[in-house]
Amino acid sequence: MTEPTALTLVTGGSGFLAGHTIAQLLAAGHRVRTTARSAGREAEVRDTLTRAGADTTELSFVAADLTEDTGWAEAVAGASHVLHMASPFPPQQPDDPDDLIVPAREGTLRVLRAATAGGVRRVVLTSSFAAVGYSPRPAGWVYDESDWTDPSDDNDPYVLSKTLAERAAWDFVAATPGAPELTVINPVGVFGPVLGPKLSSSVGIIAMLLSGRPAPLPRASFAVVDVRDVADLHLRAMTSPVAAGQRYLASAGAAVTLPEIAATLRSRLGGRAAQVPEFVVDDDEFRAVAATRPELAIFAGLLGEPKQVSHAKATEMLGWQPRSAADAVTATAQSLLELSGSTR
């Protein structure tokens, strides 16, 4: 186990998952250092965590960018563990895939090189289900940690960036003497309570539903996990001896459809979910609508059989117990309503 006073570096401290993870580390008695692309982000991150109830006395900051070497030696200095969470996740896919692939892959290698030089014991890399489940499989396939997305398949730049970055990390530790232990977490869509007004892409879906979009509803589906549970899994992966060299899927279970999520919100939130759409359109009709409305393309790509995702490995090896998908999306919606001041 990590000593309570040990220093842990969390990269990308302004992120949704990183914020929850930093809060859990501080609550557990860890000293935490985090990075941001500029020193000007420190006040924002610290204020957000303080409003969420975290004591940030043992939190420090270093300015470091994934595209530059500057700052990373200082960031890892004295850290026993690194949770590498910083990675580009744009609201829209770039025209040039390298705009995502290069900072994701090279940034990961930059952090691993610095961690090796700094004597870091273990790096926990936040990868994604994108690196696991975006290559064709037979109907009814249950995805687990042995699955990989094939980089040669026709996937969008984000999927490719996460796949290539994780592959590069495993290759680095295998080929580099003195490299830290590596553990990888592969979350599905991350939902849960927001810490501030900056919304992640996943949380943005719930915000859309609360505002009456998309209408009509497609039968798009995706697996769900609560951000608090993903943060907890990172802490378990960081401290457990058996987690070294392992890869863990973070999911509440099988994928759920957008109509199922909408029904959960209407059932649990009552009048506060009055604008959530109800009418469901079939797949072909939705594809026709999405062809003229670029903002719907993300949902068109999620049509088809819902994917089955196993979290058995994390449960059995690390004792991890995630909340249900229904609880995760409800908590997301409740926090968004509180943020907007709605109490109906």
Active-site positions?
162
Q: Phi first, then psi: give them for residue 264, nearest 5 degrees.
A: -60, -45
Which amino acid type is present at position 234? H
* CB contact at 8 A, 112 and 179: yes
Residue closest to 309 by CA, chosen among 133, 126, 138, 191: 133
Q: Phi first, then psi: give them for residue 142, nearest 5 degrees.
A: -105, 115
* CB contact at 8 A, 260 and 288: no
35 Cα distance to chain centroid = 17
Distance CA 185, CA 306 (A): 21
Radius of gyration of the chain (CA): 20
Cα–Cα–Cα angle for 224, 226, 334, nearest 5°? Answer: 105
Burial (CB < 10 A; 0-12, 13-18, 19+), residue 205, is buried
